[in-house]
Amino acid sequence: MNISYNWLKNLIDIDLSVEETAAQLTRVGLAVDGVHPHGDDFVIDIDLTSNRPDCLSHLGVARELRVVTGNDLTAERQRVGEEIDIPLPIVLAPDIVKIENPEHCYRFTARIIRGVKIGPSPDWLVKRLEALGERSINNVADITNYVMLELGQPMHAFDLDKLAQNRIVVRTARKGEKITTLDEAERELDSSMLLICDAEKPVAVGGVMGGLDSSITNKTTNVLLEVAYFDRASIRRTT
C-alpha cells in the first residue's frame, strides 16, 4: 500500500519526519518496505497483511499513528461543523436502485448530480494521485479514486444519461452476456459474476471494473455516483 507522507499530515497532527513516521508504523505492525521521494512529497510503501484492510487508506494509517502518538486526527475536525457550499443540484435516488442478489451485494447507494462540467482536476489532486501510481483521467473519475485512497471506500461514477431508464439493477450475469470494460476489453460473463446493470444491459462488473459504454466523458453532464458494499468472496472470484 502506497501512502503519501504529505497526505497523512493533512489528516493527523504529527511532527515526525518521514523516517520517524516509517519507523513508528513498522513498530506497530505496518511494516514499511521503503520510502521513496516524489517531488515535494515522500511515498511510504507499507507491506500490509491480509488481516488489515482497515489500513488500505490514508485515514486508516493516520488512525494507527494516532494510537502511537496520541495526536489528534485533523480529519475529524475537518468533517465536523464544516459548512460546505455545493452549487450543483444533488438528488437522492431512493427508487432507481434494485438489488436482485442481496447475498452478493449487501448495500448499494446512489446519488445523482446534474449539471456537471467535466474537465481536468486541479494540480494538487493530480500530483497526489500520480505520487501513488494513479493516472489522472478527469475531475469526476479522479475524485472517486481520491475518496477511495483517503477513506478506503471504493466509488464509481456512471454517465446517468447512458443508463437505460436511468436505473440500476444489481444482479448476476445471464447466459451469453458480455461487457466491454474500461480497459476496452470484451469480457465474457457467467452466472457466478455480480453485475451492475441498467434496465437493459450490464454497465459494470460489481466491485471489479466499470463498463466503457457508461463511462464519464467530456460530454457527460449528469452523473450517478455509486458507493456499495459487496460480498468480498464473490468479488475475489470474479476478479
This prediction's pTM: 0.85
Neighbour count for residue 178 (Cβ, 10 Å): 11
Pairing of strands 186-188, 178-180: antiparallel
- Is 70 exceeded by the pLDDT of residue 225? yes
Cell of 137: 483521467
Domains in the chain, number: 2
**Does one domain contain both 46 and 122?**
no
* Owning domain of residue 147: 90-238
| Residue 231: pLDDT band with limits 50, 70, 90 | very high
- The residue type at 66: R
Report the percent of the chain where pLDDT is more than 90: 84
CATH number of the domain at 62, please: 3.30.56.10
- Is 70 exceeded by the pLDDT of residue 110? yes
**Does one domain contain both 225 and 130?**
yes
Residue 170 and residue 78 in contact, taking contact as beta carbons nearer than 8 Å: no
Residue 122 lies in a domain: yes
Nearest by Cα to 211 from 184, 172, 173, 239: 184
Q: Which of 79, 104, 131 is the last residue of a domain?
A: 79
> Terminal CA-to-CA distance of the chain, rounded, Å?
19
Which CA distances in Å does 54 have to 51, 58, 68, 200? 8, 10, 16, 36
| Residue 94: pLDDT band with limits 50, 70, 90 | low
Nearest by Cα to 57 from 15, 7, 122: 7
For 173, the enclosing helix (H) or strand (E) is: none
